[in-house]
Structure 1
Amino acid sequence: MNATEVRRRLAGRPGVSVAVHSSPRSCVVAGVPAAVEQFVAECREQELLARLVPGVRIGAHSPLIDPLLDEVRAVLSDVKPGALGLPYYSCTLDDPRACPALDADYWAASLRRPVRLTEAVQAAAHDGRHVFLEVLPHPIVAQSVLETVMDTDGVTRGRSTVLGTLNRGTASHTALADTLAALHCAGVLLPPEAVPSGRPAELPTYAWQHQNYPQPRRAAVDTPGHPLLGSRVTLPGTPVRHVWQTRVGLDRLPWLDDHRVHGTAVLPGTAYAEIALAAACEAFGVPPERTVVTDLVLSRVLPLSESRAPSRTGPWFTSGWTRWPPYASRAHCTRTSPWTSPWPGCFRGPAPQNWRNTSCQR
């Protein structure tokens, strides 16, 4: 739960208060041990994530610190704050961008007031700072910072990096070297003296994956075959594809000149149906009486060349069958000129002998 929701639940309850605004989805409470334990138990009964922080025996950032504040101010009275040389986001003040006087009163307040970590990180992220480094012997708030910047990145469309310096169980020099490398990869310009000296490492070469792609066997365009369908070539790969190619110009099929629309010779609608039927019969390996062409849509016409010169005109469509009854094959046409557009259709036939997925292209 976030700090706002926890404060609502703690309203009127003595001995416990919000101590840390950890992230937009979590916070820390502090106070009298019995009151804190009771609140954690109530949250667990409601199936809310709550646990006691191990090893903590003081109620910092809560009213329990009040008796110590005068002593803290006295001990820090000789602190002479200097001018800030870097942008500073306060976790103590209500406005994290406010420039505080880092004197004894401020540090006493930082011990007494709640830690407003969420607000400070959000302000820094909104100001365009996207690399956050936690300087501690072991990361403690890095996860909370990450939760905060993930929400902020969704608003600012940024990409933040959250890092720690040292890590429990890892040698100090190794952890620091890893951190410097991560800062470099995050775009931070490191001073030369911060980069460890050494020699370039020999990295393994890229493991190239070789795969042979055999050339498909291509047949001549004008080899004998169906006058409208043309010759078939089977392409390798999965699914297996069958390709037909032919010319349907007036030089090869002069009888098409008899079919004109507004004075222009066009491919008749029956020719499309014949092409689809012939492709299905050849792909399925069955006679026409065992094949049905349905749902064939003719959106636009295909104009034919008037010069009777050889040309590569004609529709192209792809089709394929699946393993599910009734072994239907869907076809569509791709554009070859401004006059042509998709003309889908559906083939039905018996199951092919080769059960691999197969498609054909015309």
Structure 2
Amino acid sequence: MENTAKTAANTRQCQVEFSGKAGEFFGIWIVNIFLSIITLGIYSAWAKVRTNQYFYGHTRIDGQAFRYLAKPMQILKGRLLALAIFIGFFLLSSASPILAGFVILGFVFLMPLLIVLGMRFKMRMTGYRNVRFDFHGDYADAFITFFLLPILAVISLYLAMPWVLKKMDEYLYDNISFAGNSLTVNTRTASYYAASLLAVASVIAVVIVLGILGAMLFSAGLLAQLSSASFMLTLVIFIGYWLAFALASAIYGAMIRNHIFESCHFENLASFQSNLQVMPFLWLNVTNLLAIIVSLGLAYPWAKIRKAHFLAGVTTVNLSENANQLLDNVQPNTGAFGEEAADLFDIDVSLA
């Protein structure tokens, strides 16, 4: 294949491919919206399956496409369960302030469980070469990582937040397995602090520039003379702040994505590389959002397909020499019993 090259004596580098087309996905997307509306949201479960099947099926590594294995009823049951929990919490919290406190406390203890179940569902419903991924995280670690550690970040006046974000990513990735191989993650705290500091510095720099600009115009008396100038300045400041946070998001997102990919590998199977650059990523996000706004949402399928192409183009997988042999010897875990177990115990508990 043209996108496969030898990178070492025992590995070959494979460019991730995405072959989806905006026109094709637009047809799926518009039908999904229409049927979800007329069924009062019930069809949204089928819509999610169709969407994921399209994106998974058009994403390939070494010529092999991914598969999305979830069934619409699994999604629907999970959403009904999540909705029932939400309504129950709302009714109880509305009954009395005391019950509201217990509801909040119950929600705190429930959220780590939802994270575990959500990740387990997502991984088990993802297949590659007839082998499912899996997730082995437990509730105790999730509670510590996603509840106790954020409290520590607040107590430290957010000085510990980059380290907390690192621990969150480690929990999510370090518990993934595929074909009997656990994903090994060796992230560095320094990389998270560097990304966070650069992101914050970019926002501060833009705020300073906007402050200087406003002060110069105010001292020149332009704002007092023209009400339209005041409106324009307010608009410019709003756009400036938005771009500042978009830049910060692009900086942090690109740096952390690249770091996580280079820090992860499946032993004797695969390692990963990401070459996501900040400014192209910023341009992608800004233009996608503008296109969606200008088109009143109709450009969403184009933006989603465009982003998938972009991210695939900056991602490569280094497959070990014996990867094919390892995968060929793994028994597919999609048998009848596995499917029935998935129907009973694997449900998507998210409302999104």
If the length of structure 1 is used for normalisation, what is the TM-score? 0.18
Structure ranking higher in helix proportion: 2
Q: Which one scores higher on RCO, CA 8 angstroms, separation ≥ 6?
A: 2
Structure with greater Cα Rg: 1
